[in-house]
Amino acid sequence: MSNVETNLTYRGFTLDPFQKEAVEYIDQNFSVLVAAPTGVGKTLIADYLIEKVYKSGGRVIYTAPIKALSNQKFKEFKEHMGEDAVGILTGDVVLNPDAPVLIMTTEIFRNMLQQSPARIADVQYIIFDEVHYIDDPQRGSVWEESLIFMPDTMRFLGLSATIPNVDQLAYWIGGIQNREVKIVTNFNRIVPLQHHLFEKNLGITNLAHLKKMHKRVQSKLAMLEPWERKKMDTTSHIDLIATIKKDYLPCLFFTFSRRKAEMNALQLGEQHDFLKPEQKKQVQAIIDQVVERFPRISSERWTSLRWLVLRGIGYHHAGMLPALKDIVEALFTHKLLSVLYCTETFAVGLNFPCRSVCFDSSTKWDGVAFRSITNREYFQMSGRAGRRGIDTEGFAFTLIDLNYFDPRDLPTMKESQIEPLQSQFTLSYNSILNLIKNYDDAQIYRLLGMNFATYQALDERSKVRENLAEMKTEIDAFCEHMDLEKCPLVYERLKRKRNQYQSQLGREQSGRRRKQRLQQQIAAINTSLTNIEMHNCSKEEQRKCRQEGKLYRKLLIRYQSLLKHERQLDPQERYYQEFQDKKSLLVSLNYLQGDALTTAGDFASQIHGQELLVTELFMDGLFHKLSIAEINAVSVAIGYEPRKNEVKIKHNLNFAPVYKKMLQLTKLEERFLGVSTVQFSDHIAALAYRWSQGDSFDSLMGDALIDEGDLVFAFRRGIDLIRQMRNATTEDKYLSGKFKECINKMDHDQVSIWL
């Protein structure tokens, strides 16, 4: 029986039509894919499903793309259902792993499917929140593998932002799981969203007015000498807040720089205080509650951040300590922050609606280059604007600086033009080893053709073939002798070419080789002219062919190009070749003997990320030899990617064996694959060593040249890797115990996860 009341309410909320449609499909035990804008209530569907399965005595898994969202959902479900009902597995933390309601990252779910499927064999439903992450370049494969290897008995609920190819995604999932996937879409925001641009002189404006202003400014500048030209007054975030503070707060102000988020907040704090005395007391009470949960908050940011939040201003980014982010999130939830400067990570899944969303730029650094934000990114962030039941509409403002204005940098701000999902499927060594462990060659070949990339390519191929057929019909409508030697026009072109060569030969005064080449070309053309049986075309036919020849050749070039593209649309063969290449590399490392995993191969199949380097160091006995603190230093350095301009902290640790192994693996990968994936950077290894030796967090940060949140994240990555190695070495009691001690030496105080 449905948990939804007859008046279409659930937990006090009146269900919208798309929510009602989704829960009705769930009640009928269908797999469901829901695509809807940010902030319209997709999460309520997941809550309904979890409560329904739990009350029926079944098990359900909720997966999220980021650990912060997993932690948030764990807190929510624990409060609603009780501690015994909910467990969490994120790599960072493992609590109550056999609970009926399990919260985990998508990576953990994929790993369980590969290594311990029996543990989740009785799970009825799996929820994939933010399933559009399937086209994330670094992590998209995890979603695909999770969907491909799900057991037949398990249903799924996918929650996605608005995407134009939701049908394609659903049909692919339905095909690999041999069951119908119900599609529920909602393109209407409950709270309509208005999009605006802001420039200091124009105020709140639109693109048309902005272009006119920009053109006028450029015209005036063009009349001046270079040394006379001056920059216009820069439009700042302060200008925008001053304009919108009366009618459009609270707001999320997205920046694409951590430093800028902090700097902007401090600048605003010097000019504004948005809180009344009673609200300041509420802020202090929430601070006290969070501080009570976290035994110690030691951060150089804390003094200034506390001053800011007591003025109704905050900032939020991944470089902050978890405790500080918790304080900011709690205050924003309680509507005690009027302006929150944040990076785009704040937009992922976390439920923090506001009246308006502001952007200090429409371009971002993506780790490789500066680029314009996509429409999907724009709506993922701007979708937070408009609080249901409070606002009649939400507002998005993009700050424009005319000194650097380029309209091409702006997203279209049209939801109808959101980019479609594209598969980013890749094969990791871990995936290959687990495929070989669990399937035979025929099954592996079939599985490699089940990914979304192959489905999309085959879907595209069918459309390309339709286009080819249409173009072939057009080509066949031209004269059958077009551009063939029998054509009188071709015959005439050959004669003109011969005459041209003869003229060149007559003018040639020197160069014996050149004369010989011209004579050979003339002879070849004469032979062709002699052998041609020219078709007897009328002058009218020749005139028509002469007129249509250019169009024919253009069409033929397009046809041949499309034909070449069609032949390349066979990713299954490409993935199988990649599989074979990487398998050969694994054989050369003795991870495989035939189709059987060796001890090294079995160990590597349980490591997720930098499998080759970790396994090689393990097989060389390095972790047996190193001390606890040295193991932690190495684990943090494996796979570590320094941020731009990050300076290495000097140390006396001996990493020569690691670098030697890294060089060997790099050469091996380049020989087999042409690229290398091995990563090891000891930029902050000294800090992990010192932390494990008992140094205080304050002491580490005194020498660190990175954000405290990044340091915590790096240490937790190291803990996750050590936990993987410990799980892969349960039979080696000495090493397993050593790894447990390594974790204890790192997982304490500021580095611990407090849930």
pLDDT, tens digit (0-9, with 9 covering 90-100), for 111-146: 889 888 888 889 999 999 888 889 888 888 999 999
- Three-state DSSP at 6 gives coil
- Residues 444, 405: contact at Cβ < 8 Å? no
Average of per-residue pLDDT across 296-322: 89
Q: Tell me how many degrees the CA angle 391-394-397 measures, rounded to the nearest 5.
A: 145
Name the nearest CA neighbour of 750 among 333, 299, 342, 239.
Answer: 299
- Residues 193, 395: contact at Cβ < 8 Å? yes
- Three-state DSSP at 34 gives strand
The residues with which 158 forms a beta bridge, in sequence order, are: 33, 128
Average of per-residue pLDDT across 557-581: 79
pLDDT of residue 616: 96
The residues with which 394 forms a beta bridge, in sequence order, are: 193
Cα 239 to Cα 51, 193, 271, 598: the distances in Å are 47, 22, 11, 65
How is residue 224 annotated by DSSP? S
Q: Return the number of other C-beta atoms located less than 10 Å from residue 167's C-beta.
A: 14
Q: Which of 393, 417, 441 is the last residue of a domain?
A: 417
Same domain, 233 and 137: no
pLDDT digits (tens, 9 = 90+) for 138-164: 888 999 999 999 988 899 999 988 888
Same domain, 403 and 280: yes
Q: Which residues 6+ apart lie within 8 Å of 630 measured at CB? A: 653, 689
**1 pLDDT above the threshold of 50:** no
d(CA 250, CA 745): 42
pLDDT of residue 248: 94
Residue 639: left (phi > 0), alpha (psi -120 to 50), or beta?
left
pLDDT of residue 563: 77
Same domain, 386 and 291: yes
Strand 592-593 and strand 203-205: the pairing is unpaired
CA Rg, the chain, in Å? Answer: 32
Q: Return the number of other C-beta atoms located less than 10 Å from residue 729's C-beta.
A: 19
- Residues 689, 637: contact at Cβ < 8 Å? no
Same domain, 160 and 201: no
d(CA 703, CA 651): 12
The residues with which 596 forms a beta bridge, in sequence order, are: 593
pLDDT of residue 654: 92
Q: Tell me how many degrees the CA angle 396-401-407 measures, rounded to the nearest 5.
A: 70
Q: Which residues 6+ apart lie within 8 Å of 470 measured at CB? A: none
pLDDT of residue 350: 62
pLDDT digits (tens, 9 = 90+) for 587-605: 999 999 988 999 999 999 9
Name the nearest CA neighbour of 279 among 197, 236, 335.
Answer: 335
* Local confidence band at 38 (pLDDT 50, 70, 90 cut-offs): confident
d(CA 630, CA 692): 9
Same domain, 626 and 705: yes
Name the nearest CA neighbour of 119 among 89, 159, 84, 155.
Answer: 89
Q: Which of 158, 185, 212 is the last residue of a domain?
A: 185
* Local confidence band at 33 (pLDDT 50, 70, 90 cut-offs): very high
Residue 586 lies in a domain: no
Q: Which residues 6+ apart lie within 8 Å of 738 measured at CB? A: 623, 628, 631
d(CA 114, CA 149): 8
pLDDT digits (tens, 9 = 90+) for 597-634: 999 999 999 999 899 999 999 999 999 999 999 999 99
Residue 408 corresponds to which amino acid? R
Phi first, then psi: give them for residue 126, nearest 5 degrees. Answer: -120, 130
The residues with which 341 forms a beta bridge, in sequence order, are: 253, 315
d(CA 481, CA 267): 76
C-alpha of 610 from chain center = 19
Residue 57 corresponds to which amino acid? G
Q: Tell me how many degrees the CA angle 344-156-65 measures, rounded to the nearest 5.
A: 20
**Residue 296: CA count within 13 A, CB half-sphere:** 11
pLDDT of residue 255: 94
pLDDT digits (tens, 9 = 90+) for 389-432: 788 899 999 998 877 778 888 888 888 788 888 888 889 999 99
- Three-state DSSP at 148 gives helix
Average of per-residue pLDDT across 310-323: 92
Average of per-residue pLDDT across 510-526: 73
Same domain, 158 and 235: no
**185 pLDDT above the threshold of 80:** yes
Residue 41 lies in a domain: yes
Same domain, 31 and 95: yes
CA dihedral 366, 372, 375, 376 (to 10 degrees): 0
- Residues 651, 717: contact at Cβ < 8 Å? no
3-state percent breakdown (helix, strand, coil) of the chain, nearest 5: 55, 10, 35
Same domain, 100 and 222: no
d(CA 399, CA 136): 27
pLDDT digits (tens, 9 = 90+) for 658-668: 999 999 999 99
Number of helices (H) and strands (E), helices first, in the chain? 29, 21
Residue 674: left (phi > 0), alpha (psi -120 to 50), or beta?
left
pLDDT of residue 227: 59
Residue 506 lies in a domain: no
- Residues 754, 324: contact at Cβ < 8 Å? no
Q: Helix 258-269 to helix 302-309 angle, to the nearest 10 degrees?
A: 50
Same domain, 301 and 406: yes
The domain total for the chain is: 3
d(CA 405, CA 417): 22
Q: Which domain holds residue 64?
A: 9-185
Strand 9-10 and strand 123-129: the pairing is unpaired
Higher pLDDT, residue 646 or 313: 313
Task: Please say whether the dihedral angle defined by the alpha carbons of residues 703, 706, 709 and 710, taken in this order, is positive or negative.
Answer: negative
Residue 557 lies in a domain: no
Residue 147 lies in a domain: yes
Residue 630 lies in a domain: yes
CA dihedral 495, 500, 503, 505 (to 10 degrees): -100
The residues with which 34 forms a beta bridge, in sequence order, are: 159, 184
Q: Helix 488-507 to helix 539-568 angle, to the nearest 10 degrees?
A: 90
Q: At 313, which CATH number?
A: 3.40.50.300
Same domain, 204 and 229: yes
Same domain, 161 and 284: no
Q: Return the number of other C-beta atoms located less than 10 Å from residue 17's C-beta.
A: 11
Q: Which residue has the tokens 């902005």?
A: 210
**Residue 564: CA count within 13 A, CB half-sphere:** 6
Q: H helices within 256-399, ranges in order?
A: 258-269, 277-293, 302-309, 322-333, 375-382
pLDDT of residue 93: 75
- Residues 579, 623: contact at Cβ < 8 Å? no
Residue 495 lies in a domain: no
* Residue 597 in tokens: 């995993």
Same domain, 106 and 41: yes
Where is mean pLDDT largest: 260-274, 458-472, 738-752? 260-274
Task: Please say whether the dihedral angle defined by the alpha carbons of residues 82, 84, 87 and 92, taken in this order, is positive or negative.
Answer: positive
Residue 409 lies in a domain: yes
Q: Which of 390, 417, 444 is the last residue of a domain?
A: 417
pLDDT of residue 250: 94
Strand 370-372 and strand 363-365: the pairing is antiparallel
Average of per-residue pLDDT across 299-325: 91
- Three-state DSSP at 114 gives helix
Name the nearest CA neighbour of 610 among 587, 585, 630, 637.
Answer: 637
